[in-house]
Amino acid sequence: MDTNLQFYGDPYLTTADILLGTVDRPKAGEPLYAALKDLYESFPLRLKGVLND
């Protein structure tokens, strides 16, 4: 709970709010979101289910 307060600044924020995307992403998490985006974009298309060979 303390970590969520530090990242989001809302003492009443619930885990469900975060997981369901009802709150904006915290600015402190941007490096993580960028790294995950780069990782997912680097997967071959077959891993995304586009190619079946």
Q: Supply the pTM of this predicted model.
A: 0.56
Residue 37 has pLDDT above 80, yes or no: yes
pLDDT tens per residue across span 1-33: 688 888 888 999 999 999 998 999 988 889 999
- Per the model's pLDDT, the better-predicted residue between 15 and 46 turns out to be 15
Supply the DSSP string of 1-53, one letter for each residue.
-HHHHHHH--TT--HHHHHTT-SPPPGGGHHHHHHHHHHHHHS-GGGGTS---
pLDDT band of 45, cuts 50, 70, 90? low
